[in-house]
Amino acid sequence: MDLKTGTYYAAGSMYARSYRVIANQNSRVCIKIVNGPANPYEGFQHITLSSVSSSGGNLLVDATGEEISINSNPELVRPEGTFHFGTGARSGVWQHTKDDFDPDDAIDECLSSTGKYEKTMQGNFVTGLVPRQKEGHLIAQDPNSEINVRTVPGTSFDSPHYGIVGDEVTLIESEREVDSNHIWYKVKFIGSGAEGWIRSDFIEFDP
């Protein structure tokens, strides 16, 4: 199956808090379908984890029966690393944006299982639309503080690097942590280009 492992977004999907993850390992393919609430409302993401099967030359999501089309129309030239997926308002061309994805035990479980795998779950509570290219800088009570940058929104997740007070960042998206009700921002550091999640009380956005 010619599906590249990684995270995929479609046009406008970032604002809808929706994305797709493809995991391709040892000829076993699984997909994580994350659909956000209808814009611009707050609500929980809906997540479907599923194995992907090949049937008659087509790739099918076992949990939903939807087809993943890598290039079903030979007259349509799509960039490398794209696929068409979904129906109705959720359909679109999904573009590969990065080779990896956030750690996910359910994807590992799907990859290690045999036969069809189907699982649905409630995702994070998200806060609707986020203005694109909103810029700000890191703040803290102690001007010498090192501010953790997390791989996933939440203090229990890994912090592979840190920022310092005054570092300039661009907002990518936001999520509300269900257990603590904290708002987390995914940001890109303007200087280094690094990305990660920082709790909202450590960021001040420019007016």
Q: For the chain, what are the domain ranges?
A: 6-126, 135-205
Residue 180 exposed, middle or buried by CB count within 10 Å (0-12, 13-18, 19+):
exposed
pLDDT, position 6:
87
Contacting residues for 58 by C-beta, under 8 A, at least 6 apart: 67, 69
pTM exceeds cut of 0.85: no
* Residue 183: strand pairing partners: 176
Specify whether domain 135-205 bears CATH 2.30.30.40: yes
Write out pLDDT tens, residues 122-174. Answer: 888 776 555 556 888 999 999 888 999 998 888 878 888 899 999 999 988 88
Phi then psi dihedrals of residue 190, to 5 deg:
-65, -35
Residue 110, SS3 per DSSP: helix
Phi then psi dihedrals of residue 90, to 5 deg:
-90, 0
Cα–Cα distance measured from residue 130 to residue 51, given in angstroms and rounded to the nearest whole number: 32
E-only strand ranges, 11-151: 19-25, 28-35, 43-55, 58-61, 67-69, 82-85, 92-98, 118-126, 135-138, 146-149
Write out pLDDT tens, residues 70-106. Answer: 754 444 444 556 777 765 545 677 888 878 777 778 8
Nearest to 18 by CA among 36, 3, 1, 4: 36
Write out pLDDT tens, residues 11-47. Answer: 667 656 788 999 998 889 999 999 888 655 577 889 9
DSSP state of 166: T
Write out pLDDT tens, residues 96-118. Answer: 887 877 777 889 999 999 999 99
Residue 163 exposed, middle or buried by CB count within 10 Å (0-12, 13-18, 19+):
buried
What separation, in Å, do the N-terminal and C-terminal C-alpha atoms of the chain show? 48
CA angle 30, 88, 120 (to 5 degrees): 35
Residue 57 exposed, middle or buried by CB count within 10 Å (0-12, 13-18, 19+):
exposed
